[in-house]
Amino acid sequence: MDIERLVRDKLISLLQNGFDCTQEVQLRTVSGHNVRCDVLGIPRNEEFSGCCLAFECKRPSQEWHYAPWSRAIKQASDNVGADVTDQRFPDAGTVTAAFLFPAPMIVPRGSTQQANDLIRDGFEEAVAGMFHLALMFRVGKAGTTSLGKERQLSLVLGPNEIWNARNGFTKNGYDLLLSGRPIGSSNRK
């Protein structure tokens, strides 16, 4: 039974205005391992041609604490820089960034908004710190935020929103995905 199928389907419906998406895409990591990302998104915005975004879809339980988030971030980080080897995408290139969905859209301390339901038992700061560190490896969060009565999808790297369903890519998206910043401590770009 594919328990993540509904999560993948929901993500694809939220991305449909800005990306061409396919489920279960084969990749070859920088270290030479074959892996599969849950969803591959190729931006329709021509300015971002050559970018591929990988998404890891998780079905978090009520017990998601520090360890499951760290494992999920590690899994997503393996996709960054990986070559798309799936025969359905012969010219896709490499994965520019990876995102976890659904991920906690953590609000700043002191905000009147409520913290996301995906974080339990006071782990908000630890998980926020993990995602901030994950920015160095181009791993981010994909989650919904409120816009009036609507909920819209946002893609966030560290504290920076790089894309949202309403406005598309932001200047931060251009800077973080296309500027040639190194990934982690490596020279990969």
Domain boundaries, the chain: 5-178
pTM for the structure as a whole = 0.82
pLDDT confidence of residue 80: 92
How far apart are alpha carbons 137 and 181 in whole angstroms? 10
User: Two tokens at 189?
Assistant: 């770009």
Instruction: List CB contacts of 184: < 8 A, sequence separation 6 or more.
Output: 136, 137
Instruction: Please report which confidence band the pLDDT of residue 78 belongs to, taking 50, 70 and 90 as the band edges.
Output: very high
The pLDDT value recorded for residue 101 is 92
pLDDT in tens, 137-148: 888 989 887 666
CA distance linking residue 15 with residue 104, whole number of Å: 17
Report yes or no: 75 and 55 within 8 Å, Cβ to Cβ: no
Check pLDDT > 50 for residue 172: yes
Distance CA 8, CA 56 (A): 9
As a whole number of angstroms, the distance between CA 53 and CA 125 comes to 26
Report which of 7, 102, 99, 6 is spatially closest to residue 54, judged by C-alpha positions: 99
